[in-house]
Amino acid sequence: MSAAHYDSIFRPGLFAGQVHVVTGGGSGIGRCVAHELAALGATVVITGRSEEKLARVVAEITEDGGQVDSVAFDIRDEEQVKAAVAGIVAKHGRIHGLVNNAGGQFPSPLNAISKRGFDAVVTNNLTGGFLMMREVFNQTMMKHGGAVVNMTADMWNGMPGMAHSGAARAGMANLTKTAAYEWAASHVRVNAVAPGWIASSGMDAYGPGMAPMIRVLKDNLPAKRMGLEAEVSSVICFLLSPGASFITGVTLAIDGGAPLNSAVMPTPNHAGAPSYNGFHRATTPKVLQDL
């Protein structure tokens, strides 16, 4: 048993007896969400393409005393999604919550993005999420109800350098609204979160060329600091909880006020807004470790 445990702001046992699926649960924000849900009593099913990454998180949650399962498959493959959801429902009975976290992108100017690259990012961040939503709804939530939380991003003012991801994330925000309306009669709530610049392991995937920009991102935020994985996870857990029972079809920004940044009135320098980090296994991305 681990000496430390997730220090969630929510009451113990909030999700006891429930099954929650977290895609992309092998690292980053998904890993953090899986830990918090398990700490709150849920049986968490984490998914991803890498069995090795999933196994590491399963071992962590098990060591901490949580209930966790994993299924390795590709959310971009329709038949794999259908089979994986069917297997989860057969094993666990039903799915109470889906966190559509899996995704990925690469930096590139718009004019240099190939069709193949554009399609790959849209499939990762939009089509895969759609397939998961549809199958979870059709196979369990249509009958039993539930809650879905999708992942978008801070793309309100465009997404220079990642146009393919911005287009996909904007599509997910709109898909969230449509699903919330169409599935309301089945007592299914569908919301999304839009994280801004979060100090997560995904930052290390962009390579050394992006490091100088990543290291100064906080200077462009009113909060004057990066967000933490736990600050995204707590919002996701709220949207899955009974406290959000009258909230559906919204995309909630978690971005430290990034869209408010103004060239006319620069944000005064300060030490950085207070932060919340309940994740006892959190690690700082390598690109930020010496700041």
Strands (DSSP E) found in the chain: 19-23, 43-48, 67-72, 97-100, 146-151, 188-195, 251-254
DSSP 8-class letter at 266: P
Tokens of 72: 């390795």
Can you give the pLDDT at residue 291?
66
Give the start-to-end residue ranges of the domains of the chain.
Answer: 19-288
Strand, helix or coil at 150?
Answer: strand
Interval 157-184: pLDDT, tens: 999 999 999 999 999 999 999 999 999 9
**pLDDT beneath 70, residues of the chain:** 1-3, 291
Indicate if the alpha-carbon torsion angle 291, 278, 232, 264 is positive or negative.
negative
Nearest to 190 by CA among 85, 97, 86: 97
Interval 212-261: pLDDT, tens: 888 888 888 889 999 999 999 999 999 999 999 999 999 999 999 999 88
Can you give the pLDDT at residue 13?
98
Single-letter amino acid, residue 37: L
Indicate if the alpha-carbon torsion angle 258, 216, 223, 264 is positive or negative.
negative
Question: Interhelix angle for 28-39 vs 229-240, to 10°?
Answer: 50
| CATH match for 19-288 among 1.10.3720.10, 3.30.1950.10, 3.40.50.720, 3.40.50.300 | 3.40.50.720
Nearest to 234 by CA among 243, 226, 225: 243
